[in-house]
Amino acid sequence: MNRPYASVRPLDAWPPGKRTGRGRRPADFELELTARCNLNCRHCYINIPAGDREAKKTELTPAEVDRLSTEAASLGVLWCLLTGGEPLLRRDFADIYLRLKKKGLLVSVFTNATLVKAEHIRLFKSYPPRDIEVTVYGVTAETYERVTRRPGSFAAFRRGLDLLLASGVPVRLKAMALRSNVHEMASIARFARARSRGPFRFDPLLHLRYDGDERRNAEIRTERLTAEEIVALERSDPERMEALEKACTTWRIPASSGSSRRLFACRPGQTNFAVSPSGVFRLCASLWHPEFIYDLRRGSLREAWFEFAPRALSRRSRRKAFLDRCGFCSLINLCLWCPAHAYLETGSLTTPVEAFCRVAHARADALT
């Protein structure tokens, strides 16, 4: 399988430039402990088989995570999100988790909960996480396992979730809105709100695979809802619509020629960053363009943050198709479009994506 993290552009491939990032301080980072997963979800943009030996060989060791977290803490990082794949697949998960906690970091964990066991509960009760987020793919075995394609995964999910909830650790539940489970979204929302702390959130916008696997990308496309279906789903959930309206009270952004030429108007890498299972630094988790990734095994986090990232963020675009569409679009806050997602969809950082555009306009109509 083609893996985007197999080839990394080193820092010295970049032209020399003024160091402009010394005043920046990161607040948090996302650490993908593995791309492997015990499930095989139809919509997943990262997962590879749980037993993939080659992937396992490339994963950061506990010692490497320790070095990374030491650097991160020295830069002022306060919070780390452990994700995957499925992070609990790592036999050394507890070792890594404790190393991060001992650095004084707040640690969150994203998990599907199917692998949660008593040993994890003891760990989380002794060293509490900031929170644990679990995705609910369905509230019946039929729907859940249509998404995960793993028989028995629904029962494992319920067992793991019940253990987490009974332990008293903070648990948040969320969902992906897919073609395979949209008929259960109202039930999923009720299920989650009855058990979760804080607001229930769901994501109806799917992006494509990090590894560019065309067969898997075709599956993801079949799971996407239409713009009309997304808006209808959002309007049917009062809490979701209220949050969307509140967040988007200023969703029409006046475009100016100065700011719109900036490639990354979404401003990734301002206070956070992402690290892949093999130690690849990215400005955001979805950004896999070879010109915007940095190998932490061949350099340092300080160098990545203060030298590499500012040069990347300073990039501008003169491409007319970009400037005439997304660069100047006043609805960009209602859209999934960004250079990272454009690259995954089209192979170009500045190409508009019609499916995302339709969602933005449908949302704008619903909010007016």
CB of 161 closer than 8 Å to CB of 202: no
pLDDT of residue 13: 35
Mean pLDDT of 309-322: 87
What does the mean pLDDT of the chain come to?
Answer: 89
Arithmetic mean of pLDDT, 76-84? 97
* Higher local confidence (pLDDT), 238 or 112: 112
- Give yes or no for residue 301 having a pLDDT over 60: yes
For 351-355, the CB contacts below 8 A with 24+ separation are 351/321, 351/322, 352/321, 352/322, 352/325, 352/326, 355/224, 355/227
Neighbouring C-alpha atoms within 13 Å toward the C-beta of 182: 18
CA distance 285 to 266: 13
Q: How high is the pLDDT of residue 305?
A: 96
**343 close to 288: Cβ distance less than 8 angstroms:** yes
| Residue 251 binned pLDDT confidence (cut-offs 50, 70, 90) | very low
pLDDT-derived band of residue 249, with 50, 70 and 90 as boundaries? Answer: low
Going by pLDDT thresholds of 50, 70 and 90, the confidence category of residue 20 is very low
194 in Cβ contact with 149 (< 8 Å): no
Q: What is the pLDDT of residues 183-193, one digit of tens each?
A: 999 999 999 99
What phi, psi does 138 have (nearest 5°)? 175, 160
Range 257-270 average pLDDT: 71
Task: For residue 329, give every residue at least 6 positions away whose Cβ sits within 8 Å of its Cβ, in sequence order, or none.
Answer: 255, 335, 360
Q: Which of 19-33, 114-128, 135-149 comes out lowest in average pLDDT?
A: 19-33
256 vs 147: which has the higher pLDDT: 147
Put simply, whether the predicted model's pTM sits higher than 0.85 gets the answer yes
Task: Mention every residue, 6+ apart, whose C-beta is less than 8 A from residue 260.
Answer: 323, 327, 328
**For the residues 191-209, what does the mean pLDDT come to?**
91
Question: Once rounded to an integer, what is the mean pLDDT over residues 240-244?
Answer: 77
Give the pLDDT confidence score for residue 250 in this predicted structure.
54
Contact of 288 with 276, CB cutoff 8 Å: no
- In the chain, the amino acid numbered 322 is F
- pLDDT over threshold 70, residue 5: no
**Coil, strand, or helix at residue 273?**
strand
What gap in Å lies between CA 203 and CA 104, rounded to an integer?
31
pLDDT number for residue 240: 80
Chain segment 139-180, per-residue pLDDT in tens: 999 999 999 999 999 999 999 999 999 999 999 999 999 999
Q: Can you give the pLDDT at residue 21?
A: 52
Q: What is the Cα–Cα distance from 286 to 57, expressed in whole angstroms? A: 22
Banded model confidence at residue 22, pLDDT cuts 50, 70, 90: low
Question: What are the pLDDT digits (tens) for 29-72?
Answer: 999 999 999 999 999 999 999 999 999 999 999 999 999 999 99
H-helix or E-strand containing 243?
helix 238-247
Q: What domains are there in the chain, each with its CATH number?
A: 26-225+267-315 (3.20.20.70)
**pLDDT value, residue 134:** 98
Residue 316 is predicted with a pLDDT of: 87
Q: Which residues, other chains included, contact 321 with Cβ-Cβ below 8 Å and sequence gap of 6+?
A: 350, 351, 352
Residue 325 has pLDDT above 90, yes or no: no
pLDDT at 7 over 90: no
pLDDT at residue 334 greater than cutoff 90? no
Is the pLDDT at 18 greater than 50? The verdict is no
Q: How much is the pLDDT for 260?
A: 57
What span, in angstroms and rounded, lies between the C-alpha atoms of 301 and 279? 10
- pLDDT value at residue 143: 98
Note the pLDDT of residue 28.
94
Instruction: Identify the band that residue 12 occupies on the pLDDT scale cut at 50, 70 and 90.
Output: very low
User: Counting every residue, how long is the chain?
Assistant: 368
